[in-house]
Amino acid sequence: MMLEIENATKNFGSVIAVNDVSLKVERGDLIGVMGPNGAGKTTLLSLIDGTNPLSSGRISFFNQNITGHGAAFCARSGIGRTFQIPKPFEHMSVYENVLVSAIYAGGQSTGQAHDTALQVLDFTKLSDRGNQISGGLTLLQRKRLELARALSGRPKLLLLDEIAAGLTDLELAELLDVVRQISGNGMTIIWIEHVVHALTSLANRLIVIDFGSKIADGPTEEVINSDAVKQVYLGVD
């Protein structure tokens, strides 16, 4: 078992953002996470990667308890993440952004990080932008850089948060090709997305979150056609 979440709950004051969620993730899974805005999806990722501490529950990664260890520990343990709104170091070059992530998230030496950065920039089709200041990138390029930064830490588990948001159909198709390649290389992925057809085209499993609770979990086709999802997520009686 790669990742096991047991009865995870996160409270912000009186608000229950994640409510008693349990989840098991096997190596090689590509899991899509759906749900309305404010359902608790991003908070769930933040519990997994250590950005936010659990209020109660337990999270294990390769049978190691990572509950409460924080984001730096989780990154060094092999959990990489992108964020919904890319926030690169805008006054640094694309290459420098990836290099820093390889060193601090991946724990690599400067020489190793240099090699990793070049490999990842090539994979994400940013090699020709390596010397460009990241603040001048287009949205698609910023999304690619966000992916490159996450991959530079050489994660075993990749958490993707709304990487399709704001892209044109053509840009989305290009980014989906990259995700398809990442998954094809054996990476385990948990992916939050509101662009449903993007998820259903790649995910082998779907999870649906509503009001902080997991209301559906199973094979993609089965979940997308379930009555619970149609009623709660799609608004169909």
Query: What residue type is assigned to position 196 of the chain?
Result: V
pLDDT at residue number 54: 97
- Comma-separated ranges of CATH 3.40.50.300 domains in the chain: 1-78+158-237
Classify domain 1-78+158-237 at the CATH class level. Answer: alpha beta
- In sequence order, the 6+-apart residues with CB closer than 8 A to the CB of 109 are 103
pLDDT at residue number 235: 62
pTM of this structure: 0.94
- In sequence order, the 6+-apart residues with CB closer than 8 A to the CB of 146 are 82, 83, 86, 88, 163
CA-closest candidate to residue 140, choices 182, 170, 171:
171
Spell out, as residue ranges, where the chain has pLDDT lower than 70: 232-237
